[in-house]
Amino acid sequence: MKFAARFLAIFAIAACACGPAFAEDGERDPSFIRFGAGFYDVNDDMGAGEFHMEYISNSRWWVFNPFVGFMATTDSALYGYAGIRLDLFVGRRFVITPSFAPGLYSDGDGKDLGYPVEFRSAVEFAYRFDDRSRLGLSVYHLSNASLDDNNPGTEVVTLHYSYPFNRLFD
């Protein structure tokens, strides 16, 4: 719960400091296909490699962008999720993106997170290139929010690349 409170405080500060969810040039970013890799369970002794792929829509739900993704670890843990994210531009090149996504988790041979329903809260720091693609670093927390007595949670650090979806078919 302390992590959630910290996440919300960082989100509020970032939202006030960074301004609207549009780039300085006023143009909305495209949908993205995002893929990446990282380290799962950085805060405990069940570390594993993490790989993920996401589709990030450029449609708007108020100020949020919906997204859907899938994560797998080298310990055969799997997590499918869907949620919302908010791009906060710092100038033209830098983007801070908090996000939240509920999903379904299977521990495979990896860390038991206590319940199949897990919640992912994340913050991403990315650099935006001229073609709108992004290279970013994310930190996220995965937890069942005390839906079960066993709620160890985990933290994950990932490096990822977001490629404009419409350019896949050009």
Tens digit of each residue's pLDDT (9 = 90 or more) over 76-110: 999 999 999 999 999 999 999 999 999 999 999 99
Q: How far is CA 83 from CA 26, 93, 105, in A?
A: 24, 24, 15
In the predicted structure, residue 134 carries a pLDDT above the cut 70: yes
What CATH number has the domain bearing residue 120?
2.40.160.20
Q: Residue 65 sits in which domain range? A: 2-169
Q: pTM of the full predicted structure?
A: 0.84
Query: What residue spans of the chain are helical by DSSP H?
Result: 2-18
A 10 A CB-CB count for 15 gives 16
In 3D space, the residue among 66, 69, 64 whose CA is nearest the CA of residue 15 turns out to be 64
